[in-house]
Amino acid sequence: MARENPAEKALGLLRSRLCDPNFAFKALSHSDDSNYSKLKFLVSSSITEACNNSILLLGPRGSGKIAVLEVVLSDLLQEYPDMISVIRLSGLLHGSDNCAFKEIARQLCMEHQLVFSRMASFDDNSQFMIAMLRECGLAHKTIIFVLDEFDLFALGKQKLLYSLLDAMQSVTSQAVVIGVSCRLDADMLLDKRVRSRFSHRKLLFLPPANEDIQRLLEHILSLPTDSSFPPDYAVAFNAKLQNILADERFKEIISTYLNFDSTVKHLLRYLFRAVSYMDLESGMLSLENFKAALSNIQRHPKLECIKDCSILELYILVCMKRLEVKEQNSYNFNSVMKEYKSIHDSVKTSDYFARNVCLRTIEDKTTLLSFLL
């Protein structure tokens, strides 16, 4: 069997790392001020001290809320394997209270090897959840409820949130509710009766600082020297990587990318593309890999919108642009049609659209046309 090329093996390792958000966020979890440390402390103290708690993880999509939460839960399940049950709900899938209670009952039955009844009513599932909270509390077992898209649970009458938080007021229950939302005002969507039972603990996920980005890049892209890689190759690869990271041109490339998308999720996607350009003959990353990835990943929103436009829509865009070139800052449908007629008369094209068709097109595409211009 042919021996595997170290460059191909390194490429496979880097790609697997970039596809695993949990591995990436471990580089950002060593500081005591990190959200990982704060969240782990809050949840672990609730487990060891047998108390109830509720926490909100807030931040833009792709900022790592779910990834950090998964790392924390994975670590806690290893530390307290017999003291934790995790129930996962999503506002996109379980938005209605009836569906949410049924899913909670199903997961609790699966976790504790009980028979789940699909025919159980809303009240039956609600009472079952409260009873399980009480029984788990007496057994010193914490139930962790993860509510993804938390703001969607705040729509309607909020029966799930009220029943859950109200049951946690009892000294016999032992639970932690972790809400995840991209809305920074998610707690303000709660009713007064629900808000009064909420702990008002919030962790805000912000784009990583430059120091965190540097640490993240070293953590993901460096090869382990104590592994099956040839020692000389791993040392040379890491030395070349350090030279790239210290290069001002590389810092400018990363800064350019982060200016239009600073989330860690999309940064990992960009690094995956850059790593895929690695030359397998030399087996080393180069500055050109990151340049090529940046040029290919940069979006052009106006070009993406215009490529699906019809011929008539392109005509109207040209007419509006010509009017602006003539320093006519404000124009109406009549002036656009006049310009359209002048283009048609001068070029003598065969495609001529009726006035009512042009009017309907402008009415349907007003937002798109204003964006493109």
What is the tens place of the pLDDT at every residue in 275-311?
999 988 888 999 999 998 888 776 666 666 777 777 8
Residue 263's pLDDT is what?
82
The CATH superfamily assigned to 29-204 is P-loop containing nucleotide triphosphate hydrolases (3.40.50.300)
pLDDT of amino acid 63: 82
Contact yes or no for 296/273 (Cβ under 8 A): yes
State residue 175 phi and psi, 5-degree precision. Answer: -150, 160
For the question of whether the overall pTM of this predicted structure is more than 0.85, the answer is: no
What's the pLDDT at 365? 62
Domains of the chain by residue range: 6-16+209-299, 29-204, 303-372
Q: What is the pLDDT of residues 311-361, one digit of tens each?
A: 888 888 888 888 888 877 777 888 888 888 888 888 776 677 888 888 887
Q: Are 73 and 86 in contact (CB under 8 A)?
A: yes
pLDDT at position 318, please? 85
For residue 2, the model assigns a pLDDT of 47
Q: Which residues of the chain have pLDDT under 70?
A: 1-4, 30, 298-304, 349-350, 364-373
Mind giving me the DSSP string for 27-96?
TT-SSTTSHHHHHHHHHHHHHHTT--EEEEEE--TTSSHHHHHHHHHHHHHHHSTTSEEEEEEETTTS-S
- CA nearest 146: which of 190, 177, 183? 177
pLDDT of residue 55: 93
What is the C-alpha separation between 237 and 346, in angstroms, rounded?
63
Please provide the average confidence, as pLDDT, over all residues in the chain: 85
Considering only CA atoms, which of 4, 9, 5 is closest in space to residue 224? 9
What local confidence, expressed as pLDDT, does residue 352 receive? 78
- Total residues belonging to the chain: 373
How many angstroms separate the CA atoms of 198 and 202, rounded?
Answer: 11
Q: What span, in angstroms and rounded, lies between the C-alpha atoms of 164 and 158?
A: 10
